[in-house]
Chain A
Amino acid sequence: MAEASAIIDEDGTTHEVRAHPTADGTDLLVPADELREALGWELRDVGLCRGDTCIPTGVVDDLVVDGRVAVARLLSLVDQPTVVDAEAGVLAVGVHAGERSRRLASLEAPELAGVPTLDGGEVALADLRGKRKLLVAFASW
């Protein structure tokens, strides 16, 4: 019953998972081990945990069903914005606006790594340390 589905993490990386929609069609149920691979949430005795954050699964109904996690539900509990198309099997999770704003206000330049360059390489901020940098976002459109 589980179908090839996609979880797009907060940095925009797409992870393939086997998932199926919840009965009401509003969420995706993903096996716990695949969820751990995709988003780092781990099913432990105390609950669903990521880093120092744990959600006690015993007190939240229908969060974990037969070893599968209702992902949008989980993410709403930790206040992360999510868009899910259960029927199409796609879920995207993002950075909370307040968190993104806070990081930008720190004036620390966000990382450039993880995005390919035109010649197939990659550039990290550290590669350009010590230079004055002009970042220019443009498009063909």
Chain B
Amino acid sequence: MQEELGDEGLQVVAVAVDEDPEEVRPWVEEAGATFPVLIDRDRRIVERYGIVNVPTVVWIDEQDRIVRPNDVAFGSDLFFDFHGIDSTPHHEALERWVRTGALELTDEEVRARQMVPTAEEQEARLAFRVALHLLRTDRAEAAAPHLARAAELSPRDWTIRRAALPLTGIDPFVSEEFIALYEELQAAGGEYYPPRPAEET
């Protein structure tokens, strides 16, 4: 995408919501990425932008204004079978914006669609940061109640719930714990990815 639209002025900025840059490096090198990849281990960018899941995209214009809010969309169809969301509408809209400057949403519509945090979600981020600190200083046992509290306060924040799995040595993709988590969310009537607002043409 950066290659395709980079010549037309698009600047991709990737933010890895990960603890360890070395977990991210192979993906980035394989993709041949030439854009900056921020390693958000202290969860600063996700808090500043109100990001609760990945992948999430935000469009920022030339004057550093948000013109498409924190939203779930995909750079490729890699996970199509799993999430059932087609990346094509986002890609087409992105091309239009880059090439012509055309935007689908007015400022008011952007605001209406923004995910903004509740008090519980802000507290969850803090509990998670406390847990991260304790994990990094080899106090996993002390971290556990804070991870649990974070998940309890913000059950839809997948940057917390899913990130907590590998931090405690559990494989997030194939483990029973992850499957249980997914089933729990389904049972609660939620979706793995929050539903997208209707695409406007």
Binding site for B on A (CB under 8 A): 6, 8, 11-14, 81-85, 87-88, 90-97, 100-101, 104-105, 107-112, 114-118, 121, 123, 125, 128-141
Contacts and interface: CB of A to CB of B under 8 A. Distances in A.
A101 B116 CA distance: 5
Contacts of A91: 130
Interface residues of B, number: 78
Nearest to A141: B172
A137 B17 contact: yes
Nearest to B59: A134
Report, nearest first, the 8 A-B pairs whose CB atoms are least far apart. Answer: A110-B48, A12-B42, A101-B116, A83-B126, A131-B11, A133-B60, A92-B126, A140-B23
Nearest to B57: A136
Contacts of B121: 97
Given A8-B130, A136-B57, A94 B49 contact: no
B36 A138 contact: no
Contacts, number: 213
Nearest to B51: A137
A41 to B, nearest CB: 18
A41 B114 CA distance: 32
A138 B64 contact: no
B135 to A, nearest CB: 11
Contacts of B13: 112, 123, 128, 133-136
Contacts of B133: 6, 8, 14, 90, 92
Interface string B61-90: 110111100000001000000000000000
